[in-house]
Amino acid sequence: MKYINQVDIKGKTVLCRFDFNVSLDEDLHIADDRRIKTALPTINYALDEDARVIVMAHLGRPEGKVIDSLSLRPVAKRLSRLLGKEVVLTKDCIGDDVKTLIQDMKPGCVLMLENLRFHIEETENNDEFARELAGYADVYVDDAFGNAHRTHASNVGITKFAKECCAGLLMKKELNYFSATLKNPLRPFVAIIGGSKVSDKLEALANLIRRVDKMIIGGGMAFTFLKAMGHEVGTSLIEDNLINMARRGIKIAKERGVKLYLPVDCVIAEEADSKAVTKIVPVQEIDPDWMGLDIGPASIALFREVLGDAKTIIWNGPMGVFEIDAFSMGTFSMVHTVAQSHALTIVGGGDTDVAVHRAGQSDYITYISTGGGASLELLEGKKLPAVKALDECKKRMS
């Protein structure tokens, strides 16, 4: 596929899809504008080419209904401030009023379409909806990596009707980091996989175990592996239907010479509550009525040692319920260890991204992905629907 810097957009109208699904506080103020800031290189590139820039995005899950609290007004206001120029927000994303505003645009202007998901046709990948969006511009630019694993009208269906398609600079950065790392990593290559469920990361585990030299498994998913090894895990989160799969993964790692590391101790409590009494125990001594909610100090020391000689580290998923202080030490210790390593480090969005920023270590990570779900599918070895659509668009145009 082509990228925006490989396409002639001089003086043209460009329609850019971004991931502006930002978090808002109770007063509808933007709590975190990182996703908006990541769009600036693509928007500024287009403005430097005297293009007319139409921005489209979604916010939340209105499911086809107009919900005022999910309007893109706060996003348009913040983008205006970041660009230093007015960003006009339309009342809708389709219709004659939108077409009139687009026709009146001057070079260097920025127009933002209202929340795409106010129309159910967006998530249904409706052809007529996609066709109307595509008709707004000379060039369609997809820079919404965080939405690239979805098959929606604004990122997949639209490519069938757009005059010309390309990807933005953020999409280029995301794909290049993951592609280069997975295909030709500096070694030792270590994957850290956490989070609550094995089922959420099963395909990523299967793909990575063929590529890495070492793998660390933490978080709630570790207890399914520990039970597969015969340990009593109390009331910890486990997936009984995946215990045999966990045993198979342990066997495959051994056969391929991949060093697999699991927690050796953990922080346990009777419930995941900030007021709960906690204990630190070896994984062999988890009380039957207690649950593991974080890795313990011995595991932290072990994982730090494992990462000591790493040249490439990919991390997806926290080590515990880090949102609660009593169970956050493992995740935050891992953040500092990864940040202080001398490796190329990639963090795969989602909760891990939140943990890194909360620990104040984002400046010391090589790359933090903007898309948790999309980055996970890349770790699974899949081709993202939006990327596939851009590839097919290029084939049709050539």
Distances (CA, A) of 42 to 17, 88, 95, 373: 11, 18, 26, 22
Strand ranges (E), 248-326: 259-261, 265-269, 278-282, 291-295, 312-316
Helix (H/G/I), strand (E/B), else coil: 384:
coil
The amino acid present at 338, given as its one-letter code, is V
Distance CA 370, CA 141 (A): 17
Count of C-beta atoms within a 10 Å radius of residue 214: 20
The residues annotated as belonging to the active site are 35, 197, 350, 373
Helix (H/G/I), strand (E/B), else coil: 68:
helix
Distance CA 80, CA 94 (A): 22
Distance CA 186, CA 144 (A): 28
Pairing of strands 291-295, 312-316: unpaired
Residue from 283, 17, 262, 265 nearest 142 by CA:
17
> How far apart are the two ends of the chain, measured CA to CA in Å?
11
Q: What is the maximal distance between C-alpha atoms in the chain?
A: 70
